[in-house]
């Protein structure tokens, strides 16, 4: 059994703590290991434009597919705006 928790949220969803427990044992507990694929830019009139993206876990390749799938399921429910950092 894999249990995943993530406490990042708007306006800075990327800075949360990701905790993974597998069979009752904590196998991962890190902060700031996710990033957004969204972007923020300004036009010629300095109007802000925010493009939403998905939240990506930077350490995914270190874990098996079952763990990756469980993390992706949790992260996909997070509203990522990529605008809270400006």
Please, what is the average pLDDT of the chain?
90
- The arithmetic mean of pLDDT across residues 19-24, rounded, is 97
Q: Answer whether residue 13 shows pLDDT above 90.
A: no
* Domain locations in the chain as residue ranges: 2-75
Strand residue runs (E) in the chain: 2-6, 17-22, 25-31, 34-36, 39-42, 48-51, 55-57
pTM of the predicted model, to two decimals? Answer: 0.83
Per-residue pLDDT tens digits for 69-81? 999 999 998 877 6
Looking at residue 37, what is its pLDDT? Answer: 86
User: Over the stretch 45-61, which tens digit does the pLDDT of each residue have?
Assistant: 999 888 888 899 999 99
């Amino acid at each position: 059994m894999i249990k995943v928790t993530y406490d990042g949220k708007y306006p800075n969803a990327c800075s949360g703590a990701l905790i993974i427990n597998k069979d009752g044992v904590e196998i991962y507990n890190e902060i700031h290991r996710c990033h957004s694929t969204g972007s923020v830019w300004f036009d010629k009139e300095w109007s802000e434009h925010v493009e939403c993206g998905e939240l990506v876990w930077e350490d995914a390749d270190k874990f098996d597919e079952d763990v990756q799938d469980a993390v992706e399921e949790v992260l996909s429910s997070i509203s990522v705006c990529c605008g809270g950092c400006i």
